[in-house]
Amino acid sequence: MSELLPPLDRLIQQFRKLPGVGRKSAQRYVFRLLEMSDAEAAELAEAILDAKRSVRHCSVCFGLSQDEVCPVCLDEERDRTTVCVVEDVRTMLTFERVREYRGLYHVLHGSISPMTGVTPDKLKIDELVERVKAADSVIGEVILATNPTVEGETTALYITKLLRSYPNAPKITRIAYGIPVGGELEYADELTLSRALEGRRNSEG
Protein backbone atom coordinates (compact mmCIF):
# COMPACT_ATOMS: atom_id res chain seq x y z
CA MET A 1 0.00 0.00 0.00
CA SER A 2 2.65 2.48 -1.05
CA GLU A 3 -0.31 4.59 -2.19
CA LEU A 4 -3.84 4.80 -0.91
CA LEU A 5 -6.30 2.22 -2.25
CA PRO A 6 -8.02 3.45 -5.44
CA PRO A 7 -11.53 3.81 -3.92
CA LEU A 8 -10.08 5.95 -1.12
CA ASP A 9 -8.08 8.03 -3.57
CA ARG A 10 -11.20 8.61 -5.61
CA LEU A 11 -13.12 9.70 -2.52
CA ILE A 12 -10.33 12.10 -1.59
CA GLN A 13 -10.57 13.66 -5.05
CA GLN A 14 -14.32 14.00 -4.57
CA PHE A 15 -14.05 15.63 -1.14
CA ARG A 16 -11.53 18.10 -2.54
CA LYS A 17 -14.26 19.55 -4.74
CA LEU A 18 -15.79 21.03 -1.58
CA PRO A 19 -14.69 24.59 -0.81
CA GLY A 20 -11.59 24.92 1.37
CA VAL A 21 -10.94 21.17 1.49
CA GLY A 22 -7.31 20.27 0.73
CA ARG A 23 -5.65 16.89 0.58
CA LYS A 24 -5.11 16.63 4.35
CA SER A 25 -8.70 17.44 5.29
CA ALA A 26 -10.04 15.15 2.58
CA GLN A 27 -7.90 12.33 3.94
CA ARG A 28 -9.15 12.95 7.47
CA TYR A 29 -12.74 12.82 6.18
CA VAL A 30 -12.05 9.53 4.45
CA PHE A 31 -10.61 7.95 7.56
CA ARG A 32 -13.50 9.13 9.69
CA LEU A 33 -15.83 7.68 7.12
CA LEU A 34 -14.10 4.31 7.32
CA GLU A 35 -14.65 4.34 11.07
CA MET A 36 -18.39 5.01 10.64
CA SER A 37 -20.93 2.21 10.42
CA ASP A 38 -22.19 1.37 6.94
CA ALA A 39 -25.55 2.87 7.88
CA GLU A 40 -23.98 6.17 8.90
CA ALA A 41 -21.99 6.45 5.69
CA ALA A 42 -25.10 5.60 3.66
CA GLU A 43 -26.96 8.37 5.52
CA LEU A 44 -24.38 10.92 4.39
CA ALA A 45 -24.47 9.72 0.78
CA GLU A 46 -28.27 9.69 0.80
CA ALA A 47 -28.44 13.20 2.28
CA ILE A 48 -26.27 14.47 -0.59
CA LEU A 49 -28.48 12.86 -3.22
CA ASP A 50 -31.65 13.96 -1.47
CA ALA A 51 -30.52 17.59 -1.22
CA LYS A 52 -29.79 17.66 -4.94
CA ARG A 53 -32.98 15.82 -5.81
CA SER A 54 -35.43 17.75 -3.71
CA VAL A 55 -34.07 21.29 -3.80
CA ARG A 56 -34.44 23.49 -6.87
CA HIS A 57 -34.76 27.16 -7.70
CA CYS A 58 -38.03 28.95 -7.00
CA SER A 59 -39.57 29.89 -10.35
CA VAL A 60 -40.34 33.39 -9.08
CA CYS A 61 -37.34 34.61 -7.05
CA PHE A 62 -34.76 31.88 -7.92
CA GLY A 63 -34.06 31.28 -4.24
CA LEU A 64 -34.02 27.69 -3.00
CA SER A 65 -37.24 25.75 -2.88
CA GLN A 66 -38.59 22.24 -2.56
CA ASP A 67 -41.62 23.22 -4.64
CA GLU A 68 -42.25 25.26 -7.78
CA VAL A 69 -42.54 28.43 -5.68
CA CYS A 70 -40.62 28.98 -2.44
CA PRO A 71 -42.13 29.61 1.02
CA VAL A 72 -41.02 33.26 0.99
CA CYS A 73 -42.76 34.02 -2.31
CA LEU A 74 -45.88 32.17 -1.13
CA ASP A 75 -45.99 33.89 2.26
CA GLU A 76 -49.07 36.14 2.18
CA GLU A 77 -47.84 38.13 5.16
CA ARG A 78 -44.83 39.49 3.32
CA ASP A 79 -44.70 42.89 1.66
CA ARG A 80 -45.20 42.13 -2.02
CA THR A 81 -44.39 45.69 -3.11
CA THR A 82 -40.68 45.42 -2.32
CA VAL A 83 -38.09 43.18 -3.98
CA CYS A 84 -34.55 42.87 -2.67
CA VAL A 85 -32.08 41.88 -5.39
CA VAL A 86 -29.15 39.74 -4.16
CA GLU A 87 -26.28 37.99 -5.88
CA ASP A 88 -26.75 34.61 -4.26
CA VAL A 89 -28.85 32.46 -1.98
CA ARG A 90 -26.40 32.89 0.88
CA THR A 91 -27.04 36.64 0.95
CA MET A 92 -30.77 35.97 0.92
CA LEU A 93 -30.35 33.72 3.95
CA THR A 94 -28.31 36.38 5.73
CA PHE A 95 -31.11 38.90 5.17
CA GLU A 96 -33.63 36.38 6.50
CA ARG A 97 -31.54 35.78 9.59
CA VAL A 98 -31.65 39.49 10.42
CA ARG A 99 -35.48 39.31 10.45
CA GLU A 100 -35.67 43.00 9.61
CA TYR A 101 -36.73 42.72 6.00
CA ARG A 102 -40.27 41.59 5.23
CA GLY A 103 -40.40 42.02 1.44
CA LEU A 104 -39.60 39.55 -1.33
CA TYR A 105 -36.30 38.65 -3.01
CA HIS A 106 -34.75 38.13 -6.40
CA VAL A 107 -31.60 36.04 -6.63
CA LEU A 108 -29.37 36.90 -9.62
CA HIS A 109 -27.05 33.89 -9.18
CA GLY A 110 -23.90 35.87 -9.73
CA SER A 111 -22.74 39.32 -10.77
CA ILE A 112 -21.66 40.78 -14.10
CA SER A 113 -18.01 39.91 -14.70
CA PRO A 114 -16.88 40.11 -18.34
CA MET A 115 -13.42 38.92 -17.27
CA THR A 116 -14.79 35.51 -16.28
CA GLY A 117 -17.41 35.41 -19.02
CA VAL A 118 -20.40 36.27 -16.83
CA THR A 119 -22.45 38.52 -19.08
CA PRO A 120 -25.89 39.89 -18.03
CA ASP A 121 -27.72 37.17 -19.96
CA LYS A 122 -26.13 34.54 -17.70
CA LEU A 123 -27.84 36.08 -14.67
CA LYS A 124 -31.50 36.21 -13.71
CA ILE A 125 -31.78 39.83 -14.85
CA ASP A 126 -34.29 39.30 -17.66
CA GLU A 127 -36.44 37.44 -15.14
CA LEU A 128 -36.25 40.42 -12.78
CA VAL A 129 -37.34 42.79 -15.53
CA GLU A 130 -40.25 40.48 -16.37
CA ARG A 131 -41.30 40.38 -12.73
CA VAL A 132 -41.27 44.17 -12.51
CA LYS A 133 -43.06 44.69 -15.84
CA ALA A 134 -45.68 41.98 -15.32
CA ALA A 135 -49.26 43.22 -15.76
CA ASP A 136 -50.20 42.18 -12.22
CA SER A 137 -46.99 43.50 -10.66
CA VAL A 138 -47.38 45.51 -7.46
CA ILE A 139 -43.64 46.10 -7.10
CA GLY A 140 -43.05 49.67 -5.98
CA GLU A 141 -39.42 49.40 -4.91
CA VAL A 142 -36.42 47.37 -6.02
CA ILE A 143 -33.63 47.33 -3.44
CA LEU A 144 -30.25 46.49 -4.97
CA ALA A 145 -28.19 44.57 -2.41
CA THR A 146 -25.29 43.46 -4.56
CA ASN A 147 -21.84 43.20 -3.03
CA PRO A 148 -19.62 46.30 -2.75
CA THR A 149 -17.20 44.89 -5.33
CA VAL A 150 -16.47 46.02 -8.90
CA GLU A 151 -18.74 43.23 -10.19
CA GLY A 152 -21.48 44.05 -7.70
CA GLU A 153 -21.36 47.75 -8.55
CA THR A 154 -21.43 47.04 -12.27
CA THR A 155 -24.42 44.77 -11.81
CA ALA A 156 -26.29 47.35 -9.73
CA LEU A 157 -25.60 50.06 -12.31
CA TYR A 158 -26.68 47.82 -15.17
CA ILE A 159 -29.96 46.89 -13.49
CA THR A 160 -30.66 50.50 -12.50
CA LYS A 161 -30.26 51.74 -16.10
CA LEU A 162 -32.27 48.86 -17.48
CA LEU A 163 -35.22 49.24 -15.10
CA ARG A 164 -35.24 53.06 -15.39
CA SER A 165 -35.59 52.72 -19.17
CA TYR A 166 -39.10 51.31 -18.78
CA PRO A 167 -42.17 53.49 -18.24
CA ASN A 168 -43.63 53.29 -14.72
CA ALA A 169 -40.32 52.05 -13.37
CA PRO A 170 -40.43 51.33 -9.64
CA LYS A 171 -38.27 53.18 -7.17
CA ILE A 172 -34.75 51.73 -7.30
CA THR A 173 -32.63 51.94 -4.17
CA ARG A 174 -29.33 50.54 -2.93
CA ILE A 175 -28.52 49.45 0.58
CA ALA A 176 -26.10 51.72 2.45
CA TYR A 177 -22.41 50.92 2.39
CA GLY A 178 -20.29 52.48 5.12
CA ILE A 179 -18.55 51.88 8.41
CA PRO A 180 -19.74 48.61 9.95
CA VAL A 181 -21.32 48.93 13.37
CA GLY A 182 -18.63 48.33 15.96
CA GLY A 183 -15.93 49.14 13.42
CA GLU A 184 -13.30 51.77 14.20
CA LEU A 185 -12.95 54.71 11.86
CA GLU A 186 -9.21 54.67 12.38
CA TYR A 187 -8.96 51.32 10.63
CA ALA A 188 -11.50 51.93 7.87
CA ASP A 189 -10.15 51.66 4.34
CA GLU A 190 -10.38 54.73 2.11
CA LEU A 191 -13.07 53.36 -0.14
CA THR A 192 -15.38 52.45 2.72
CA LEU A 193 -14.77 55.82 4.35
CA SER A 194 -15.52 57.67 1.13
CA ARG A 195 -18.73 55.62 0.72
CA ALA A 196 -19.67 56.41 4.32
CA LEU A 197 -19.13 60.14 3.69
CA GLU A 198 -21.12 60.02 0.48
CA GLY A 199 -24.01 58.35 2.27
CA ARG A 200 -24.11 60.81 5.18
CA ARG A 201 -27.45 61.89 6.56
CA ASN A 202 -28.73 64.67 8.80
CA SER A 203 -27.84 63.98 12.38
CA GLU A 204 -30.99 63.53 14.41
CA GLY A 205 -31.60 64.95 17.86
Residues binding its own copies (CB under 8 A): 1-2, 4-8, 10-11, 13-15, 17-21, 25, 28-34, 36, 38, 40-52, 54-55, 63-66, 70-72, 88-90, 92-93, 96, 99
Phi, psi of 135 (to 5 degrees): -55, -40
Residue 38 or 186: which CB sits closer to its own copies?
Answer: 38
CA 137 vs CA 65, 79, 104, 168, 181: distances in Å: 22, 13, 13, 11, 36
Smallest gap from Cβ 39 to its own copies, in A, equals 10
Could you tell me the smallest distance in angstroms from the CB atom of residue 154 to its own copies? 22
The least CB distance from residue 165 to its own copies, in Å, is 32
Alpha helices for 55-183 (secondary structure H): 71-74, 89-98, 125-133, 150-164
CB of 182 vs its own copies, minimal distance in Å? 19
Contacts of residue 68, defined as CB under 8 A and 6 or more positions apart, other chains included, come to 58, 59
Q: What are the phi and psi torsion angles at 113 (to 5°)?
A: -150, 85
Compare residues 95 and 125 and give the one whose CB is closer to its own copies: 95
